[in-house]
């Protein structure tokens, strides 16, 4: 019996998935990811500045050959929606 995790035909030795948020610096994030032994990293797309292609993002710090990047497409948190109201049909 194989202990590999297979997702979409891609095999992983680690089942740990590490997020890239909440680190004080990019260097701290990279060190934590490397120390964890993970092969998958989640990235919240809304935290990336994609409007300025010259701006460095956390994606520039990640070794794309070593890790599978798992994008997270999340809606804004409730604190980001101050004043927002649910539609009447909800």
pLDDT of the residue at 50: 85
User: Cα dihedral angle (65, 22, 25, 20), rounded to 10 degrees?
Assistant: 10
Kindly state whether residue 42 falls inside one of the protein's structural domains.
yes
Query: How many independent structural domains does the chain possess?
Result: 1
Kindly state whether residue 85 falls inside one of the protein's structural domains.
no
- pTM reported for the whole predicted model: 0.72
Segment 20-42 shows an average pLDDT of 95
Burial class from Cβ neighbours inside 10 Å (0-12, 13-18, 19+) for residue 88 reads exposed
The Cα 50–Cα 36 span in angstroms is: 28
Kindly state whether residue 90 falls inside one of the protein's structural domains.
no
**Domain span at 14:** 5-74
The Cα 27–Cα 74 span in angstroms is: 25
Kindly state whether residue 82 falls inside one of the protein's structural domains.
no
Average pLDDT taken over every residue of the chain: 85
Kindly state whether residue 41 falls inside one of the protein's structural domains.
yes
At 37, is the pLDDT very low, low, confident or very high (cuts 50, 70, 90)? very high
């Amino acid at each position: 019996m194989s202990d590999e995790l297979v997702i979409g035909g891609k095999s992983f030795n680690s089942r740990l998935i590490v997020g890239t948020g909440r680190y004080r610096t990019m260097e701290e994030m990279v060190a934590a990811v490397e120390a964890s032994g993970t092969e998958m990293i989640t990235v919240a797309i809304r935290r990336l500045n994609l409007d300025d292609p010259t701006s460095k993002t956390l994606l520039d710090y990640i070794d794309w050959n070593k890790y599978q990047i798992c994008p997270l497409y999340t809606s804004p948190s409730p604190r980001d929606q101050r004043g927002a109201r649910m539609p009447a049909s909800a």
